């Protein structure tokens, strides 16, 4: 019997596995998708090769790309932008690691308290979360982003539009700032040349400014896996978890198995309480099923797969909140077209931001040709300049809302991708019961009934809609102040990228699945440590850092509750994921 089984190796699962393995526990980490142990042999920087949702290497599907992607039903015009594999969606994230706004925590009593989703706060205070933020920030590490021309243009626009500069990690007012991101700082030749012969490790370290963050980071060439620039969990927490024996505090390596899709969580009645006892998982390559038992089971399969696995396992759902309350930051995109190059394809994927506590946030994001063309068409409005589906905002957008097609799209794209700056708009989205994950009535796959994702984009709360319009309006104002001659709002269709809260923790058993320790309310020894555990949309910021901090806190609770351990976060210094001992151990393992 294992001590702990962790289901899913995305953003939160490896964090949990690493922390518990570091305490000497026997941890098994199961991932339904592939493990790209040597990604340079399989990955490229071509957008279709990487991100095609059917055949790309960064898709939601098995490691064998000749096999079909795994199916999900969508109840609306939408696309859930997730992928499988070790690292999960952190393989495509741009490393942004802001903290949640304090207003989403139980102890917040600022003058803007009621601007947030007051009914669904964290069931503990921001001050309690800070040590876990600091732990993860030191471990990854999180640093101020390396910046270039496009960031200078963004900062000038923010200042001209009247926003103040923020210089602290905790966001308390509307402001702009460099990103705090989980991407290693450029060193040596990195950022100083485009000559590939000079950009291999150790001549170059950290971010090489290649501009390919969404394709999965494989640079600097020849760097040890734990020194790859972007700190997705396949480059940071996973190497730490599987080499734990190298650490000073007596850890043991976790067992990682990829292409291992968990199909059932097993339970028994212990003292009248439903208690998790293990899992069954399917080997995607052979089709064989395996049973593993454990003292504790941790779900970290994501906001869509966690409810599916819960339902397929027949676990209790007395308040009907399993799968409900899905938040997705109700994304929008606003693009500025500049009369000159702003070098938008160079540097980290997103190195600058603006924050609007209680409303949402902006990310200044690098452009790539097919992604930009996709964004110009991924709209719920009509065709820009012709009709709006009744969703245009007269006066504010000068008719420039909606899809761009035909000659207009061609002319825009021909102006040059380095002339674009697209701003991702993240909205503080209300937790609403109708936005949810259920089981589809369509035929299942090899892993059982498939999930159906219901995101009612046109039935959002009035606060959510007002937040989105407010933050999108600020994006237009900043881009115009920065010198853009054309500003286009996509009025984006539902593109759940930052999906959160479908298995939320909360104060009340009436509308939450987890208690304040991250443990399931109706199943003992079952915990959740990914985005689905987040109680709300965080006020709008990117969720990964908060997920990893919460996963660290939950791992500490597991260690205390079921293994007689003491807290470690406040008393020890974390081992950094770039520790040379990890590089040496990976080399010994041929990784």
- Minimum mean pLDDT among 308-312, 490-494, 579-583: which range? 490-494
Rounded alpha-carbon distances, angstroms, from residue 119 to 115, 357, 499, 540: 11, 17, 19, 16
CA distances 461 to 58, 79, 374, Å, are: 33, 21, 27
Res. 398 pLDDT band, cuts 50 70 90:
low
Cα separation, 86 vs 106, whole angstroms: 33
pTM of the predicted structure, to 2 decimals? 0.97
Q: Which strand (E) or helix (H) includes residue 180?
A: strand 180-181
pLDDT at residue number 337: 93
Query: CA angle at residue 545 from 541 to 550, to 5 degrees?
Result: 110
Please, which residues have CB within 8 angstroms of residue 133's CB and are 6 or more apart in sequence?
Answer: 99, 169, 545, 546, 549
Residue 103, C-beta contacts closer than 8 angstroms, at least 6 positions apart: 110, 112, 113, 115, 116, 357, 358, 539
Mean pLDDT (whole number) for 440-457: 94
What are the start and end residues of each CATH 3.50.50.60 domain in the chain?
2-68+85-141+222-326+501-588
- pLDDT tens for residues 323-342? 999 999 999 999 999 999 99
How confident is the model at residue 393, as a pLDDT? Answer: 58
Tell me how long the chain is: 591
Given a cut of 60, is residue 394 above it in pLDDT?
no
State mean pLDDT over 500-520: 98
Q: Are the C-beta atoms of residues 230 and 87 closer than 8 Å to each other?
A: no
User: Phi, psi at residue 265, to the nearest 5°?
Assistant: -105, 125
Contact 535, 566 (CB under 8 A): no
Residue 579: how many CB atoms within 10 A of its CB? 18
Q: What is the pLDDT of residues 356-393, one digit of tens each?
A: 999 999 999 887 888 888 888 888 888 877 777 777 65
Report the SS3 class of residue 496: coil
| Residue 324 backbone dihedrals phi, psi, to 5 degrees | -90, 165
Given pLDDT bands bounded at 50, 70 and 90, which one contains residue 412?
Answer: confident
pLDDT at 36: 84
What pLDDT is stored for residue 47 in this prediction?
85
For residue 315, cis peptide bond before it (omega within 30 degrees of 0): no
* Mean pLDDT of all residues in 122-128: 98
Ordered alpha helix ranges (H), 66-170: 126-139, 149-161
- Fold classification of 2-68+85-141+222-326+501-588 is FAD/NAD(P)-binding domain (3.50.50)
What gap in Å lies between CA 246 and CA 586, rounded to an integer? 10
Structure tokens at 423: 């701003």
Q: Can you say whether the dihedral through the CA atoms of 390, 360, 498, 349 is positive or negative?
A: positive
3-state secondary structure of 195: coil
Confidence band (pLDDT; 50, 70, 90) for 396?
low
Q: 78 vs 282, which has greater pLDDT?
A: 282
Cα separation, 311 vs 520, in Å, equals 14
Give the tokens for residue 453: 């994702």
The DSSP line for 338-397 is -SS---TTSSSS--EEEEETTTEEEEEE---HHHHHHHHH-BSS-BTTT--TT---TTTS
Q: What is the mean pLDDT of residues 404-426?
A: 91
335 CB-near residues (< 8 Å, 6+ apart): 372, 375, 376, 420, 421, 422, 423, 479, 487, 488, 490
- SS3 sequence, 62-82? CCCCCCCCCCCEECCCECCCC
Residue among 457, 437, 218, 213 nearest 325 (CA): 437
Task: Collapse the DSSP code of 531 into the 3-class scheme (helix H, G, I; strand E, B; otherwise coil) and give the result.
Answer: helix
What is the model's pLDDT at position 388? 75
Lowest mean pLDDT among 391-395, 421-425, 489-493: 391-395
Question: What six digits make up the tokens of 504?
Answer: 């939320």
Look up residue 246 and give its DSSP letter: G
CA distance 589 to 417: 42
Q: Are strands 352-356 and 360-365 parallel, antiparallel or unpaired?
A: antiparallel
Token couple for 113: 């308290």
Q: Crossing angle, helix 544-563 and helix 13-22, to 10 degrees?
A: 40
Instruction: Give the pLDDT score at 78.
Output: 80
Report the share of the chain in percent with pLDDT over 70. Answer: 98
| Cα separation, 255 vs 94, whole angstroms | 28
Mean pLDDT of 543-550: 98
**CB burial string 438-450: b at 16+ within 10 A, e below:** bbbeeeeeebbbb
Q: β-strands 175-178, 420-427: how paired?
A: unpaired
Closest CA to 58 of 82, 41, 79: 82
Look at residue 395 and tell me whether its pLDDT is greater than 60.
no
What per-residue confidence (pLDDT) applies to 214?
83
> What's the CA gap between 482 and 24, in Å, rounded?
53
pLDDT digits (tens, 9 = 90+) for 254-285: 999 999 999 999 999 999 999 999 999 999 99
What local confidence, expressed as pLDDT, does residue 399 receive? 57
> Residue 476's pLDDT is what?
93
Binned at pLDDT 50, 70 and 90, residue 295 comes out as very high
Averaged pLDDT of the chain = 93
Across the strands, what pairs with 445?
448
Give 6-65 pLDDT, tens digit per residue: 999 999 999 999 999 999 999 999 999 999 877 877 888 888 898 888 899 999 999 999
Element (H, E) at 7: strand 2-7
- For residues 232 and 60, give the distance between their C-alpha atoms in angstroms, rounded to a whole number: 17
According to DSSP, the β-strands at 526-528 and 289-299 are parallel
37, β-bridge pairs: none
Least confidently predicted of 107-121, 233-247, 288-302, 388-402: 388-402
- Residue 534's pLDDT is 98
What three-state secondary structure class fits 333?
Answer: strand
At which residue do the structure tokens 């308290």 appear?
113
Q: What is the pLDDT of residues 168-210, one digit of tens each?
A: 999 999 999 999 999 999 999 998 998 989 999 999 999 999 8
């Amino acid at each position: 019997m294992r001590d702990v089984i962790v289901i899913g190796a995305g953003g939160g699962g490896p964090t949990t596995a690493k922390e518990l393995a570091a305490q000497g526990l026997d941890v098994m980490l199961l991932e339904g998708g592939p493990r790209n142990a040597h990604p340079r042999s399989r990955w490229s920087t071509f957008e279709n090769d990487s991100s095609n949702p059917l055949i790309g290497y960064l898709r939601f599907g098995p490691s064998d790309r000749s096999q079909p992607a795994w199916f999900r039903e969508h109840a609306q015009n939408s696309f859930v932008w997730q992928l499988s594999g070790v690292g999960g969606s952190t393989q495509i994230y741009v490393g942004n690691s802001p903290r949640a706004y304090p207003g989403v925590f139980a102890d917040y009593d600022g003058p803007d308290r009621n601007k947030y989703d007051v009914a669904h706060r964290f069931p503990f205070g921001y001050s309690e979360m800070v040590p876990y933020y600091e732990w993860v920030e030191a471990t990854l590490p999180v640093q101020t982003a390396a910046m270039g021309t496009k960031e200078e243009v963004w900062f000038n626009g923010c200042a001209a539009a009247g926003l103040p500069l923020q210089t602290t990690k905790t966001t308390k007012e509307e402001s702009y700032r460099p990103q705090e991101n989980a991407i290693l700082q450029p060193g040596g030749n990195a950022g100083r040349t485009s000559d590939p012969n000079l950009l291999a490790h150790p001549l170059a370290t950290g971010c090489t400014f290649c501009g390919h963050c969404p394709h999965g980071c494989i640079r600097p060439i020849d760097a040890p896996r734990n020194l790859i620039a972007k700190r997705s969990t396949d480059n940071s927490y996973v190497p730490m978890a599987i080499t734990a024996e190298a650490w000073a505090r007596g850890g043991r390596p976790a067992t990682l198995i990829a292409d291992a899709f968990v199909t059932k969580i097993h339970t028994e009645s212990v003292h009248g309480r439903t208690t998790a006892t293990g899992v069954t998982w399917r080997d995607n390559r052979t089709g064989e099923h395996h049973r593993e038992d454990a003292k504790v089971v941790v779900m970290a399969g994501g906001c869509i797969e966690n409810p599916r696995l819960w339902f397929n396992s027949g676990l209790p759902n007395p308040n009907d909140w399993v799968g409900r309350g899905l938040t997705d930051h109700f994304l929008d995109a606003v693009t500025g077209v500049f009369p000159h190059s702003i070098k938008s394809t160079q540097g980290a994927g997103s190195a600058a931001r603006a924050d609007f506590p209680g409303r949402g946030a902006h990310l200044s994001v690098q452009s790539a040709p097919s992604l930009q063309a996709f964004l110009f068409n991924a709209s719920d409005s009509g065709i820009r300049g012709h009709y709006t589906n009744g969703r245009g905002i007269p006066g504010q957008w000068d008719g420039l809302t909606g899809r761009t097609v035909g000659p207009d799209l061609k002319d825009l794209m021909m102006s040059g991708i380095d002339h674009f700056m697209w701003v991702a708009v993240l909205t503080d989205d209300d937790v609403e019961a109708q936005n949810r994950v259920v089981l589809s009535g369509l035929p299942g796959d090899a892993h059982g009934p498939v999930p159906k994702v219901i995101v009612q984009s046109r039935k959002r709360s009035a606060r959510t809609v007002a937040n989105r319009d407010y933050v999108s309006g600020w994006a237009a104002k900043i881009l115009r102040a920065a010198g853009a001659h054309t500003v286009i709002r996509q009025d984006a269709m539902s593109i759940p990228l930052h999906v959160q809260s479908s298995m939320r923790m909360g104060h009340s058993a009436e509308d939450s699945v987890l208690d304040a320790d991250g443990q399931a309310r109706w199943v003992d020894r079952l915990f959740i440590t990914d985005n689905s555990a987040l109680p709300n949309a965080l006020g709008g910021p990117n969720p990964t850092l908060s997920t990893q901090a919460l996963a660290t806190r939950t791992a500490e609770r597991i260690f205390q509750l079921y293994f007689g351990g003491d807290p470690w976060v406040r008393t020890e210094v974390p081992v950094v994921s770039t520790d040379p001992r990890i590089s040496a151990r990976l080399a010994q393992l041929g990784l």
